[in-house]
Amino acid sequence: MPLTGPVDGEAAPGLFPAPELAPPATRGDTDRTARRGMAAGRTNDAGRQLAFFGAEAAEPAVADLAGLLAGPAEVSVMGGTARLAVVVDDAWRVHVLVAELEARRLPTSWAAVGGGRHTVRTAYTRVLKPLVAAWLQGPAKRPPDAFYLDGRGLRLWLVAAGSMADSDVLLRLGPAADQRVVPVGAALAAVGLPAVPEPGPDGPAYRITGRRLLNRFAELVGDPPPTVPRAAWPHRG
């Protein structure tokens, strides 16, 4: 997959080039997934939820970037264009995030920011302006009234700012998150992931805990990309 490349000649973090994304599931794939869920004892409603909300259920879309905006991603506007940027703390996150953004036809670059961390950012583009405008209230970032999360949004949030902690999943909101805590919590609850925010050194985070909720989360975000360490991704159990 072609990449825009690093900023200012910055050497790529290890493991590049970024992995190809798996193709989105077809309707037949999602139907088979639902049937497997029913065979395993899940209700027909659960099968439909998996088909409608899981990461493999639809093709990548710019609207999925709401998952990054729920977390620590920052935005900026220039005229009729906008850009999204997020700081990540592992090389595999750079890989996967670049691949995800490129899959949405968003030219993307990266740059080291010290301490092994990198900023991944899109180019300024008109494509992002409607999404960014909906999230900005003055200088503050806040979910719009129509905000919701699905598997693809959760997957992007996990890639950018999620981690495994004592078998739980932590989803970091990032700094200056006061205006996001309540609506993001409501969006998590709406997809069957009720969670309570907890403080952290880089801002609050939502903790997904308990076998049932962790299985639900793993179903929604799908299987890990090939470069993700096994211990860094939730698995169905």
CA dist 10 and 31 (Å) reads: 44
C-alpha distances (whole Å) from 120 to each of 12, 84, 153 are 12, 8, 17
- Tens digit of pLDDT at every position of the chain (237 positions): 334 455 544 555 655 544 455 444 433 444 443 333 333 333 334 333 443 445 455 688 999 999 999 999 999 999 999 999 999 999 999 999 999 999 999 999 999 998 889 999 999 999 999 999 999 988 889 999 989 999 999 999 999 999 999 889 999 999 888 889 999 999 999 999 999 899 988 889 999 999 999 999 999 999 999 889 999 999 987
First-to-last alpha carbon distance for the chain, in angstroms, is 32
Phi–psi pair at 83, nearest 5 degrees = -135, 150
pTM, rounded to two decimals: 0.80
In the CATH hierarchy, which fold is given to the domain comprising 5-21+60-232? Endonuclease I-creI (3.10.28)
CA dist 216 and 224 (Å) reads: 15
**Pairing between strand 117-122 and 140-141?**
unpaired
Give the H or E element holding residue 91.
Answer: helix 91-103
pLDDT value, residue 58: 66
52: helix, coil or strand?
helix
Q: CB burial class (10 A; 0-12, 13-18, 19+) of residue 77?
A: middle
Q: Find residue 77's DSSP bridge partners.
A: 82
CB 127 within 8 A of CB 61: no
CB 35 within 8 A of CB 115: no
CB 149 within 8 A of CB 191: yes
The domain ranges of the chain are: 5-21+60-232
Alpha carbon of residue 135 to chain centroid: 16
- Residue 216 structure tokens: 């639900």
- Residue 72 structure tokens: 């620590």
- Residue 188 structure tokens: 């998590």
Taking only the tens place, the pLDDT of each residue in 5-25 is: 555 445 556 555 444 554 444
Taking only the tens place, the pLDDT of each residue in 153-177 is: 999 999 999 999 988 999 999 988 8
